[in-house]
Amino acid sequence: MSNLLLIIPLLLLLSTSAPPSLGLAHQSTSISAFRQCLQNHNHSDAVLYLPTNSSFLPVLNAYIHNKRFIGPATAKPLAIVTPTHESHVQATVLCAKANNLQIRTRSGGHDYEGLSYRSPSPFILLDLNNLRRIELDVETETAWVEAGATLGELYYAIANKTNTLAFPAGVCPSIGVGGHFAGGGYGNLLRKYGLSVDNVLDARVVDARGEILNRSTMGDLFWAIRGGGGASFGVILSWKVKLVRVPEVVTAFQVDRWLDQGASDIFYRLCHYYRWQQVSTNLSKDIFIRAMPQVVTTPENKTKVMISFVGEYLGRTKDLVSYLSRSFPELGFREVDGKEMSWVETVLFWAMIPVNKPLEVLLNRKSEPSYFKSKSDYVTEIIPREALPGIWDALLKVGPCFTQWNPYGGRMAEIDTDEAAYAHRAGYLFKVQYYVWWVEDGEEAEARHVGALDALHEAVTPYVTKEPREAYLNYRDLENGVNSVEKPEWSKAKVYGEKYFKGHFERLAKIKAEFDPENFFRDQQSIPPFPHSH
């Protein structure tokens, strides 16, 4: 830790600045001191937007995915910094710290609760959208990806060089790799290759001292940022990833079954037949079949439950037909249901973009914001047949919405639970997401839709993990518990921490204590330093 010696004199110099910001006057003092500090730090070419700048709101709103956090009711940052160089990130951390300002780090802005760009206390938004270089090496099958790159940009970069390599990550192309990988990151290659974090080889991170660490200098931090999220630990600048091999031709499919077409049978009957709940986690690793019970509106304006089975197979359709006719005949999968394409075309397929569109659509970083709320669960035991009608009723009451049941097994069951901070591995059947969106503005509509989703979540309680009821960090949900940003409490952190990280929570808090003992990097759901009294 010889770096520490270099940084201490610097911090002493910086810490002579402003007292804790208590009011508007203090805030404007700290912000001008912050600005001055940046300039003193070789940051004169960095881009800083103050609220008086006409680009401030467009820059802020450019990467807000949840419309709930766009309006005037959402507290705005004191300033936005959009680094174009790693040294700008270091300076932002040091100058914010010196002026008692917090920062929020944003890569793709897809956080469900907007924690990457909003906070109850004064803060600087560090927006990494200009740090998005991708250096790909087909020979070594690796890539360095800067945090502000999107999944679409990574997928495009791979496909621009080869159609036999891929990367296991999420299905929405505008997600940022900064937040997504740190929280785990999963998609349809999960059963074959695990999570994004299982294919991360190295990372560059700015810590609370403003130092850049890499795998060989960050010790246990490398374990933490693979599932523990980035926001509690520092600013991730870039990831080095291992690309994975895929065949030139793969198969994607979606088959829709209405409940009265026997979808409920496929989903829940527990006879001697293979059924989706039983088989999806036991199929070949080359097959991923997501079940999507959802509520759709019919042309007669009635709502109905439909179950879509959306899948991907790393091979040809005819082989899939023959495999499924033996392993999962109840699905009724036919050759016409499968669509053969390259792996990158399946990225379009999953994103519901026509697969014949030029791949450049993947470079479109902006996504249309919408009002939504999402919750998650993990399931370790098959849900009994008799429980399902009650769940479908609760689903119908939400109105138009979807749920996604993502099968585990395969590679997920092979990777040791302690390999990385991500804690939900062997022994899980499904990861579930419940998702409702709406178009009406206003608090009443929000309360109504969120309430309906909560009721669905409540109805599923007996059939999912308990004590804690586990949740997926990347499906951020403030109903899992929140902390005060001004006075974080260990007992409050334990509530959401154990849901997201299970037995890994304490280890994460100890790593936090080592790398950020003053808890500079914090938000409403961050991991506080492990307290001495415990």
Ligand X SMILES: Cc1cc2nc3c(=O)[nH]c(=O)nc-3n(C[C@H](O)[C@H](O)[C@H](O)COP(=O)(O)OP(=O)(O)OC[C@H]3O[C@@H](n4cnc5c(N)ncnc54)[C@H](O)[C@@H]3O)c2cc1C
Q: Three-class SS string for 169-205?
A: CCCCCCCEHHHHHHCCCCCCCHHHHCCHHHHEEEEEE
Q: Single out the segment in contact with ligand X by CB under 6 A; choices: 8-16, 226-234, 256-264, 442-450.
A: 226-234
Site string for ligand X, 231-250 (x = CB under 6 A): x---xx--------------
Binding to ligand X, residues 68-107 (CB under 6 A): 104-107
282 binds ligand NAG (CB under 6 A): yes
65 binds ligand X (CB under 6 A): yes
Smaller CB distance to ligand X: residue 18 or 190?
A: 190
Smaller CB distance to ligand NAG: residue 31 or 493?
A: 31
281 binds ligand NAG (CB under 6 A): yes
Residue 77: name its binding partner from ligand X, ligand NAG, none (Cβ under 5 to 8 Å by kind).
none
Q: Could you tell me the smallest distance in angstroms from the CB atom of residue 262 to ligand NAG?
A: 21
Binding to ligand NAG, residues 380-409 (CB under 6 A): 409
**Calpha distance 392→385 (Å, rounded):** 12
From candidates 14, 17, 37, 49, binder to ligand NAG by CB under 6 A: 49
168 binds ligand X (CB under 6 A): no
CA dihedral 455, 460, 465, 470 (to 10 degrees): -30
Smaller CB distance to ligand X: residue 116 or 277?
A: 116
Q: Could you tell me the smallest distance in angstroms from the CB atom of residue 392 to ligand NAG?
A: 23
Give whole-number Cα distances, 319 to 190, 245, 250, 313, 315, in Å: 20, 19, 11, 9, 7
Token digits of residue 310? 């959306």
31 binds ligand X (CB under 6 A): no
Q: Could you tell me the smallest distance in angstroms from the CB atom of residue 519 to ligand X?
A: 15
One-letter amino acid for residue 44 of the chain: S
185 binds ligand X (CB under 6 A): yes
**Which H helix or E strand runs over 79?**
strand 79-82
194 binds ligand NAG (CB under 6 A): no
DSSP secondary structure string, 16-74? TSPPPP-SHHHHHHHHHHHHHHHHHTT-TTSEEE-TTSTTHHHHHHTT--BGGGTSTTS
**Calpha distance 129→366 (Å, rounded):** 11
Q: Single out the segment in contact with ligand X by CB under 6 A; choices: 8-16, 112-120, 274-282, 323-331.
A: 112-120
Is there a contact between 124 and 78 (Cβ–Cβ < 8 Å)?
Answer: yes
From candidates 33, 136, 147, 450, binder to ligand X by CB under 6 A: 147
Angle 77-82-87 (CA atoms, 0-180°, nearest 5)?
A: 120
283 binds ligand X (CB under 6 A): no
Binding to ligand NAG, residues 209-238 (CB under 6 A): 214, 216-217
**Calpha distance 95→36 (Å, rounded):** 9
178 binds ligand X (CB under 6 A): yes
Radius of gyration of the chain (CA): 23
**Calpha distance 373→266 (Å, rounded):** 28
Smaller CB distance to ligand NAG: residue 203 or 244?
A: 203
From candidates 2, 16, 301, 356, binder to ligand NAG by CB under 6 A: 301
Smaller CB distance to ligand NAG: residue 47 or 249?
A: 47
Q: Could you tell me the smallest distance in angstroms from the CB atom of residue 235 to ligand NAG?
A: 15
Is there a contact between 102 and 95 (Cβ–Cβ < 8 Å)?
Answer: no
Is there a contact between 89 and 154 (Cβ–Cβ < 8 Å)?
Answer: no
**Calpha distance 436→454 (Å, rounded):** 10
DSSP secondary structure string, 414-454? HS-TTSSS----TT--EEEEEEEEE---SHHHHHHHHHHHH
From candidates 85, 285, 469, 510, binder to ligand NAG by CB under 6 A: 85
Q: Could you tell me the smallest distance in angstroms from the CB atom of residue 319 to ligand X?
A: 26
Q: Which residues bind ligand X (CB under 6 A)?
A: 65, 104-112, 115-116, 128, 147, 170-172, 175-176, 178-180, 182-187, 229-231, 235-236, 474
Q: Which residues bind ligand NAG (CB under 6 A)?
A: 42, 45, 47-49, 53-55, 85, 87, 160, 202, 214, 216-217, 278, 281-282, 300-301, 409, 413
